Every structure is written in C-alpha cells, then in structure tokens.
C-alpha cells in the first residue's frame, strides 16, 4: 500500500468506518518506521536465472524464497535441502528470477533489514519487473514472508507463506497487508506452528477487506514443503499478481 492509495480510501465506503480507517493508516506508517529502524544487513544468497534470460531481453518476475529455521547459518548448500533451492538444484526450470537469502544463526527474518540491500542488488544487476516481486517461504520462512510484506508493502506484489504466522507484537500492523494478495497453506495437524496462527491473520484481513486465500490441508502436519514441488497453483497464482502502483 502506498501513501497515494491511502488517500483514495477517503473516496470509498471506508469513510463509514472511521476506526478501520485509523487502523489502516496507523499500520502503514508503523510499517515504514519499523523497517527504517532495523539495522541494515547483507545476507548471502543463491540466485537462479531462467534458461531464457540471456536470449530474451525482457524483464522477469522476481521470487524471493525464505527458508525455515534448520537452514540458518553460513553455508548456502544447506538451502538446497527442500523448497525452491532444492528444485533449482534438481534442474527444475522456472520463468522467474529466484533469490534465496540465508538467515544467519541466532537471528530471524525479522531481526534485521536484509530486504533493502537484497532488493537493490538484484534489481540493479538483473532485469527485474518491479511490479512483479513476490515473497514465499515455509515455517520460519513463512513468518519471514509476512514480516517482509509488513515492512515493505510498497514493493511486494503478492506473498505465499506456508505454515507461517505473525508475532503477537505485529498484529496491529496486519491491515498493512490488505492490498497485497496472499495465498497461504497450513496443515490442520501442524503441532509445531498451529494453524491458528494463520487463522488469526485471515480473521484480521477479512475485517479490513484484505485479499487472502487460505487453504487448510486436512490431516497434514508441519512438513508441507512438498507443495513447492507438487502444487503448480503456487506459481500460476503468484505470477498472475501484479502491483498496480
């Protein structure tokens, strides 16, 4: 959501709900200040370019993949255990640029502002369609997907968090995500991160007229990383989304 889009709110039916309007405006400015206050950092990352990149000179969508807690560290090979880095390592081809940063030990995706440096590097080095920048991740990376969108809503076209959530102190900012399309999955039998984490996000967004598609996977636990390999809807849906401003 940009400041211009906030102005447009006054021309819609939201003027009938002043408390909701105040919450949305507060969420927007809170997100901007939190992102600026975090220490800036440069995280090591893997980069994948589509097979056609060197021959097709058009701009490409960018997908930022955030790993789970067991892949933290200083060894990028750890990222290839599952998810998008695994599929790329297995020579799976995609029609987008994929970047997978690695979170250092002792930190979380919310600890530092790693996004700005990564975004600036990738968009200056490669032909990125800035209207089609997406974030996806699983477990800790699911949390990271939400927090990245909360901190940088003006740059993200859509997000796909798997079995993630939002920290309690970030719930007041959830309406910041109202204009970002969200496709999310959570196993109903997840005993590591409860599906209630995703349910409360959906509840908040429904109240502020957000755009969220929530798939509850019956009987599944925490290990739903296989969706990246078997569920093409993730990529088809993601690549249809585009930031309009």
Q: Where are the domains of the chain?
A: 3-240
DSSP string, 74-135: S-GGGGGGSHHHHHHHTT---SSEEEEE-PPTT--TTTSB-HHHHHHHHHHHS-EEEEEEEE
Q: For position 244, what pLDDT does the model report?
A: 84
Per-residue pLDDT band for 176 (boundaries 50, 70, 90) equals very high
30 has pLDDT over 60: no
Judge contact between 97 and 125, C-beta under 8 A. Answer: no
Integer Cα distance of 73 and 200 in angstroms: 31
Question: What percentage of residues in the chain have a pLDDT greater than 70?
Answer: 85
Judge contact between 163 and 142, C-beta under 8 A. Answer: yes
* Mean pLDDT value across residues 42-63: 97
Q: What is the pLDDT of residues 8-29, one digit of tens each?
A: 444 444 454 455 454 545 545 5
**Burial class of residue 214, CB neighbours in 10 A (0-12, 13-18, 19+):** middle
Query: Which DSSP letter does residue 39 get?
Result: P
Q: What is the pLDDT of residues 95-132, one digit of tens each?
A: 999 999 999 999 999 999 999 999 999 999 999 999 99
* Mean pLDDT value across residues 172-192: 97
Integer Cα distance of 119 and 99 in angstroms: 10
Integer Cα distance of 197 and 193 in angstroms: 7
Question: Taking Cα atoms as reference points, which of 200, 208, 203 lies closest to residue 180?
Answer: 208
146 has pLDDT over 60: yes
pLDDT, mean over the chain: 90
Question: Taking Cα atoms as reference points, which of 190, 133, 180, 141 lies closest to residue 162?
Answer: 141
* Mean pLDDT value across residues 226-230: 98
Superfamily of domain 3-240: Alpha/Beta hydrolase fold, catalytic domain (3.40.50.1820)
* Mean pLDDT value across residues 225-230: 98
77 has pLDDT over 70: yes
* Pair of tokens at residue 236: 């088809």
């Amino acid at each position: 959501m940009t400041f211009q889009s906030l102005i447009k709110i006054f021309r819609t039916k939201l003027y009938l709900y002043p408390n909701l309007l105040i919450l949305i405006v507060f969420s927007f400015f809170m997100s901007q200040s939190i992102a600026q206050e975090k220490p800036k950092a440069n995280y090591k990352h893997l980069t994948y370019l589509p097979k056609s990149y060197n021959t097709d000179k058009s701009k490409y969508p960018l997908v930022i993949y955030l790993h789970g807690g067991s892949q933290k560290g200083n060894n990028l090979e750890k990222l290839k255990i599952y998810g998008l880095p695994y599929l790329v390592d297995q020579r799976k081809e995609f029609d987008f640029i994929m970047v997978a940063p690695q979170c250092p030990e002792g930190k979380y995706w919310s600890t530092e502002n790693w996004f700005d440096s990564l975004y600036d590097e990738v968009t200056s080095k490669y032909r990125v369609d800035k209207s089609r920048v997406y974030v996806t991740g699983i477990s800790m990376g699911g949390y990271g997907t939400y927090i990245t969108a909360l901190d940088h809503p003006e740059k993200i076209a859509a997000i796909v968090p798997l079995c993630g959530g939002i920290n309690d102190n970030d719930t007041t900012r959830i309406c910041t995500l109202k204009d970002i399309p969200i496709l999310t999955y959570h196993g109903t039998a997840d005993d590591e991160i409860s599906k209630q984490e995703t349910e409360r996000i959906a509840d908040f967004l429904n109240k502020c007229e957000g755009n969220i598609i929530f798939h509850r996977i019956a009987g599944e636990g925490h290990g739903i990383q296989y969706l990246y390999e078997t569920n093409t809807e993730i990529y088809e849906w993601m690549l249809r989304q585009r930031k309009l401003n």
